Structure 1
Amino acid sequence: MYGAPALPPDFVSLPYANPNAPKGGKVVFGNTGGFDTLNPFTLKGTAPWQLRFWGYESLMGRSWDEPFTLYGLLAESIEVPEDRSWVEFTLREEARFSDGSPVTIEDVLWSYETLGTKGHPRYRGFWTKVERMEQTGPRSLRLTFNTIDRELALIAGMRPILKKAQWQGKDFGTDELPGAPIGTGAYVVKNFEPGRFVTLTRNPDYWGKDLPLHRGTRNFDEMRLDFFGDATVLFEAFKAGELSAVREFNADKWDSVYNFPAVTRGDVVKSEIPHQRPSGMTGLVMNSRRAPLNDWRVREALLLAFNFEYINGTVTGGVQPRITSYFSGSELGMQPGPAAGKVQKLLEPFADTLLPGTLDGYELPQGDGTKRNRKNLRKAMKLLADAGWSVTDGVLRNTDGAALNFTVLIRQGDGELKTITEIFARALERLGITLTAETVDNAQYVERQTAYDFDLTRYRRELSLSPGNEQRYYWGSDGVSQPGSRNLMGMESPAAEAMIDAMLTATEPEDFTAAVRALDRVLTAGRYVIPFWRFDAGRIAHVKEMRFPEYLPIYGDRTEFMPDVWWYQKD
């Protein structure tokens, strides 16, 4: 995205991969919830999220040891002008689908247009910025863009490529296939039972096994996904030896419950994977499409009532620090105090529309560490009064007499969020507010999030060291009404969209950083999410036969770390 790629043209393998890793072994991972489709590319149904990464490839592949750099995968070359107003790819002649058929320009053209018009909404934003797409040679195509956006050339290289002939006579957005879409990846679906398991095997004829980008990766012979009703049952299955690895996100549990016999014997290893990426945002998102959550004062009151210090101590032992902004923990995060310099200059044109604290500085409420949290509750009550709410017979009501009630939508098996909600509800009771937990199965959870049918729900957005067009999908105004976007909070902010534009047109790193820091201010002072705690390191418990390289990428344990660069070795 900026500067030159870190790896030379003749690189042997990614720096965090072991080019001599042995092939073989079978591993089993676990998911909570279920699935009713193997197509991860449409809005219809729920697919195992791993399938997009294990079975499908793009024209370019990413190095997770650089903020945002791509190398050739299905494409052997890429050409762009200085202004990146277009991009041209040339396919590798040896690129093949898992059924052995060659990847053609026709497949690529069809994949771009189909995903952009009938695919999941996460693919559609890019398509609106393509002015034209054309074949320029037997194995080459060019995309010309209709907007100034330096990231589009890279995003174009990251679209998954599917086999057009498999969908002949079918509607991509609605029709179901008897199995999985055909991709070019190293793994193919061997067997599955909806809602219970999916088994994938490594394709012995995988076309890309000798590419430097993939040397030392995709090492397991077989990977199976088993599905469980909740996280507790999944963990018990791991303790019983039914699963090969689990990720743990609670530092207190990592220290207290991972002491079962297999760990003490050394049959299960606890590995911590540090990273340098931003904190992202984890917490309770508030749906501002619904009154009174469309009033920032009500959202701030809920932030004040959320006794983070007490809840953190109860749930994680108090060892995980709080997320302070969306990009906290990195140089992209907002700086304390009033906006200054380039950040101030970017935000000042929107001063009349920005919420309090955006320009002059905003910090999350801090409790006094006690269970009662009286000081913050008094502040919350004053804000609620300013917003037109008052207590009558112990119940907070508006001028029409309507009581203030909220519901937290919880996915079945999320015991941690149930605990958090119970503690939060007791605090809100003291303000006269009723907070109710509503637990639903996986299918209902996805359906209701897609339709924005909730007051509050769990929220997680991982953010990179090179944020770009995906930010519009996260916070753009189109997502206020478009079903299935990732703008769960329903924010509509011209300032946020202008900061994203500034990020995408920046040619100098300092201008890019200023734009991200300004966006971070708009998001954080928007008070859309009640932040939880940071994940400063990945925590993976795994059988001793599963190994990974000593050198770790700057992104740490991301989607393409485990299982991509791991291998199976008995001694």
Structure 2
Amino acid sequence: MTPEFFSRISRQTRAILATGAVIAATAIPVGAEPMHGIAMYGDPALPADFTHLPQVNPDAPKGGRIVFAESGSYDSLNPVIRKGRAPWQLPYMIFETLMGRSYDEPFTLYGLLAESVETAPDRSWVEFTLREEARFSDGSPVTVEDVMWSYETLGTEGHPRYAGAWAKVETMEQTGPRSVRFTFNEADRELALLMGMRPILQKAQWDGVDFDESGVDLIPIGSAPYVIDRFETGRYLILKRNPDYWGRDVPYMRGQANFDEIRFDYYGDGDVVFEAFKAGEASTHRETNEAKWDTQYDFPAVQSGDVVLSDIPHKRPTGINGFVMNTRRDQFADWRVREAMIHAFNFEFINQTLNGGTLPRIRSYFDNSVLGADIENPAEGRVAELLAPHAGALLPGAMEGYALPASDGTERNRAGIAAALDLMAQAGWTVQDGVMANAAGEPFTFEILLSQNATESRQIIDIYASALGRLGISPTITAVDSAQYTERTKAFDFDMAPYIRGLSLSPGNEQKLYWGAALADEPGSRNWMGVKSPAIDAMIDAMLEAPDQEGFRAATKALDRVLTSGRYVIPIWYNNVSHIAHVKELRFPDHIPMYGDWLGFQPEVWWWEE
């Protein structure tokens, strides 16, 4: 969960989520002492005497350069304010934070500018102690005064993304020559981590300067390994490694910041960026189009071996992406109807038609991660224990296992259509004179709401509507502009609609907003399916109350089982691999972090080697 999340929700929603945070806080073990790191649940994976992060090569050579081709432009070098367009990489490249995140763990921070972190047993406050050797790029020390000024300024004058967490700080005080403490005004165990993740700026640089003014006349001073070297607004930006970087021996930084130079060149659009890479103007390119990766990366530099094609797997949750059914509507109140809709959705044929059959299907909400349930097999151990009190109310599959139907890949999908007809009959719907209808002869129909610019969704639905026709169902497909789409979905004025919920490896109170019963009828909530399930609410509470990583994972897996077996969404696909084409001299470690190609990966842990 992020501070921006709280800035977008209602007062009632805040109160409900705060209640969940209070519940969570009661499970924090007693005892507080300075630590080398802090985890959202349980203890950090690495010991206090760790020498480097597991996802780096601590012996990576220093030198060389990496060149990125970027679409778009920029007109500002201040990335922490609302105004202007600054290169999105700048906050991570020129500023440092008190703690650094390890992307090989769900949500754990280790000391960077801070040598230690200490928090109350209930995490009502957190205290950081700065490293004595921490320095800005101009050689001046990083002080508590810089830290306090940065937090207050960012929280009140900076980009809105910093305001949410700052609003929860009751007091900020210096507690020692190099220590600062934040005390919170509400219970939220995540705040202790969020407070370690704010960029630290040099206060003296901004004396007499309008902080929120955008532009390129003032180059921000940070403490990170890189400084801005040369630039031409909108055309290129060059960062060079500071030879006097203070933190080269900090364990968290070993094996990182290996390039002498990082260059960003700016082009008009994505197609031009790709052509620039093919022409040798850039040394790396990230491809997000699966079909393009399979068909357009056979150009001469690839054939000669000068360009390498690397697939980077990840273990991030899939989240849920597909078409949600609104259970507030009579058509979808019966789980057997929702299951029939899933059987009629010919995933294999649609995937082959649109993606060449290359993308895997989402099997559950936390699929592809350590939080995902072994959904196709019976619940066991702690997961089964958590679900047992609700067994009588759970839908089939939650306890014994649930598998999405798989077709033979042909367009007719005979088995799927037959199963759908049987399920509809069980729910009181049969085909009468070619039309699906109930005993009273009333036809079964529903509206699928789409946004006009959702091209892929429309392609999917056109194929799906044809399949529904074999069931005697003729859905109404309505495409509206984005404003109308937002208005209607906020009011739950739809029967079926495209639905995407990204989920992280550190889910928290936001789960109540996504599928908690208390918010199911609140307009604007993200519980589009309208589910009201005591089991879901109990699993969220168990997740928030978990005292350790093992309990947290069990509760999340139990939640995953209840959500998936609820048949609320017709899931489509996800991509569990990132694709990066790069010159052969660019290398990365063998150990891929849990988050894969994500923040902290390229260029941070890459290096140049002839």
Same fold per TM (> 0.5)? yes
Matched, 1:463 2:489: no
Residue 432 of structure 1: aligned partner: 474
Q: CA deviation at 1:505?
A: 3.3
Seen in structure 2, the aligned counterparts of structure 1 residues 387 and 77 have a Cα distance that, compared at 3 Å, is farther
Q: CA deviation at 1:16?
A: 1.8
Seen in structure 2, the aligned counterparts of structure 1 residues 52 and 264 have a Cα distance that, compared at 3 Å, is same
Moved more, 366-375 or 343-352: 343-352
Any unmatched runs of 5+ in structure 2? 1-38
* Rounded Cα–Cα distance in structure 1 between residues aligned with 2:250 and 2:161: 28
Q: Deviations over 1:77-128 (max 9, x none)?
A: 2223555553210122443455766544344345545666787776666556
Residue 87 of structure 1: aligned partner: 126
Q: CA deviation at 1:539?
A: 2.8
Q: How does 1:529-548 map to 2 (within 5 A)?
A: 529-548=569-588
| Number of aligned positions between the proteins | 555
Task: Choose from 539, 560, 564 the match for 2:600.
Answer: 560
Q: Deviations over 1:286-317 (max 9, x none)?
A: 49699799968687666444321112223443
Q: CA deviation at 1:515?
A: 0.9
Specify the code of the residue in structure 2 equivalent to 1:463. S
Task: Choose from 321, 332, 354 the match for 1:283.
Answer: 321
Q: Deviations over 1:197-239 (max 9, x none)?
A: 6624135254434433223322331231635545x55444433
Q: CA deviation at 1:456?
A: 4.6
Q: CA deviation at 1:322?
A: 1.9
Matched, 1:213 2:255: no
Query: How much identity, in percent, do the aligned residues show?
Result: 50
Q: Deviations over 1:346-382 (max 9, x none)?
A: 4566779877755565433433422133554576687
Task: Choose from 404, 408, 412 the match for 2:447.
Answer: 404
* Rounded Cα–Cα distance in structure 2 between residues aligned with 1:302 and 1:311: 15
Q: CA deviation at 1:546?
A: 1.6
1:96, 1:103 within 8 Å by CA — same for their partners in 2? yes
Matched, 1:306 2:349: no
Classify the secondary structure of the residue corresponding to 2:129: strand
Matched, 1:325 2:364: yes
Any unmatched runs of 5+ in structure 1? none
Specify the code of the residue in structure 2 equivalent to 1:433. P
Seen in structure 2, the aligned counterparts of structure 1 residues 524 and 9 have a Cα distance that, compared at 3 Å, is same
Moved more, 550-559 or 212-221: 550-559
Seen in structure 2, the aligned counterparts of structure 1 residues 445 and 24 have a Cα distance that, compared at 3 Å, is farther
Residue 549 of structure 1: aligned partner: 589
Seen in structure 2, the aligned counterparts of structure 1 residues 41 and 449 have a Cα distance that, compared at 3 Å, is farther
User: What TM-score, normalized by structure 1, do the two folds share?
Assistant: 0.75
Q: CA deviation at 1:565?
A: 1.0
2:328, 2:529 within 8 Å by CA — same for their partners in 1? no
Residue 31 of structure 2: aligned partner: none
Residue 266 of structure 1: aligned partner: 305
* Rounded Cα–Cα distance in structure 2 between residues aligned with 1:268 and 1:460: 35
1:309, 1:318 within 8 Å by CA — same for their partners in 2? yes
* Rounded Cα–Cα distance in structure 2 between residues aligned with 1:171 and 1:492: 50
Q: CA deviation at 1:542?
A: 0.8
Seen in structure 2, the aligned counterparts of structure 1 residues 314 and 151 have a Cα distance that, compared at 3 Å, is same
Q: Deviations over 1:429-482 (max 9, x none)?
A: 764224467898xxx999999989998557473633x55567568767789979
Seen in structure 2, the aligned counterparts of structure 1 residues 401 and 550 have a Cα distance that, compared at 3 Å, is closer
2:66, 2:263 within 8 Å by CA — same for their partners in 1? yes
Q: How does 1:168-183 map to 2 (within 5 A)?
A: 177-179=214-216, 183=222
* Rounded Cα–Cα distance in structure 2 between residues aligned with 1:115 and 1:480: 35
Residue 222 of structure 1: aligned partner: 262
Task: Choose from 228, 235, 257 the match for 2:296.
Answer: 257
* Rounded Cα–Cα distance in structure 1 between residues aligned with 2:150 and 2:277: 38
Seen in structure 2, the aligned counterparts of structure 1 residues 271 and 399 have a Cα distance that, compared at 3 Å, is same
User: What TM-score, normalized by structure 2, do the two folds share?
Assistant: 0.71
Classify the secondary structure of the residue corresponding to 1:27: strand
Kindly report the root-mean-square deviation, in angstroms, between the aligned alpha carbons of the 2 structures: 5.2
Residue 174 of structure 2: aligned partner: 135
* Rounded Cα–Cα distance in structure 2 between residues aligned with 1:546 and 1:145: 44
Specify the code of the residue in structure 2 equivalent to 1:241. G
